[in-house]
Structure formats: C-alpha cells, structure tokens
Structure 1
C-alpha cells in the first residue's frame, strides 16, 4: 500500500522512544517494515537524531510515530488501541506474550464469545493492542 492511498493512519507520539518502539513492533509482527524515518538535526527542536516523523507498517497497515520535543502531562490510554488480526495461533501467542512483557494484560489470551482467540494488552511503551485470531 503506498503512503498516498491510506487516508487515515494511527499516529503514536513518544517522548524519545519512537524509534525503539517502531523497531520493536516491526520485529514482532509478521509482514511489517519501517517505511520512512525523518530525524531532528542539530538545529532541533528535538534532540539530534530523535524522530521528527516516521512511518512503519504492520500487515500492510501504516502507522506513524514521532518523538515530541515537548514534555506532556499525558501519555497513551487504554481507551484507544490498535486492533490486529493475526493469521495463526503461533503468531497471536508470540505477539501477545512479547507485548505483555513489562506491560499490562487487560484481557488474557483466551476464547471469548466474539473471538476464537483474543487478548488485550498494554505494552512497555503504554500502547494498547487488541489481538484477535483470523477465522
């Protein structure tokens, strides 16, 4: 999917950990890649080398992220999450287990009336993920 075709993209704002998170996510999910990275130079306003704007994809869905040079009194909240449909039991198990390390489990990986296998987890960066197995 080319960047121009997807009109709505989730945008994740970090405070210095955007590249670390993006590398973590693209190493974890199947069919994922870093599409582009634009970094701050010595002129700022963010620390040199931190992320002005980056795009990565998971299963063809593009997600943007950045490092805010401004410290905020807020962070991610579980009231919005990224919903990912996994292709195999192995993928959902691996992704759920890895995302939950140093994170928080909101709904354990199990069978629910709406999904054969589903889990909801907040990762170590505070981003929340709903994972469901493809039927």
Structure 2
C-alpha cells in the first residue's frame, strides 16, 4: 500500500521539543520513536499521530544549508473558534505571525503562523 506523509526534518537536535509541542497542541501521540545512535543525539525518526494525520519527525544527522519556509505549510481545519484561537497562541508562541487571525474572505476565521522551529501552520475555521 502506498502512503504519503509529511516529513519534518530539523537541525540542531530540536525534534524532541518540536514533537512535544505538536503532541501537546493537538492531543496527539508518538506512535514510534528511534533515537540516533551515539555519538549523534536527537531523534533519528519519530512518527506522530496528530488528529489522525501521521507526521514523520527527524533530527538531521547532516548539517545542511536549508530549513523550513512558509511555502510549505500544514493546513489545519479547526473544530471551533476556541480551538483555532488556542492553536494560534500555542503554535505561534515565540514564532512568527504570517497572517494574523482574521476574516480574509475565503475564511471568516484564519491565521497563518510559523512556530519557533520554523514550521508553518495555516489555521482555519471552515
């Protein structure tokens, strides 16, 4: 069976902190996690279940010259306004607001934030 899953690759050993944030924000679970073998540290590969969406997370074992950009984002349809506002606060804390919570015509309640790890989240109330 073919599957397609988002894959978030971090640098600097922050995958565990990012995993903790996402599991906390969405009430998710860590399905599996494998640490890097010494002398490396961090997560070699983890699989998260966030509201039924499987997301892979890793700390890169190799330094590279790229990171996350807003051009790729995770789009979240929220159940209600309270969840939307909570996610804007939780995911946007110490990050950046790309579009503040507002009515943009295509949605009466939408926000776009980048979390403190650089991952971009489009948060929508359908």
Task: Give the TM interval when normalised to the shorter protein.
Answer: over 0.9
Q: 1:23 aligns with which of 17, 20, 25?
A: 20
Distance (Å, rounded) in 1 between the aligned partners of 2:116 and 2:81: 23
Residue 41, structure 1, aligned to residue 37, structure 2: yes
Matched residue, 1:53: 45
In structure 1, what is the equivalent of residue 91 of structure 2? 99
CA–CA distance in 2 between the matches of 1:88 and 1:35? Answer: 26
RMSD: 1.4
TM-score, with structure 1 as normaliser: 0.87
Find the counterpart in structure 2 of residue 78 from structure 1.
Answer: 70
Aligned 8 A contact 1:6 1:62 in 2: no
Could you say which residue in structure 2 is the equivalent of 1:62? 54
- Deviation (angstroms), 1:69: 1.4
Aligned to 2:4: 8
Deviation of 1:116 (Å): 2.0
Gaps of 5+ in 2: none
Report deviation, 1:131: 0.4
TM-score (norm 2): 0.92
Quote the Cα distance in structure 1 between the aligned partners of 2:2 and 2:113: 26
Cα-to-partner distance string for 1:22-64 (whole Å, 9 max, x where unaligned): 111110114x21111011223x5x22xx111101021100110
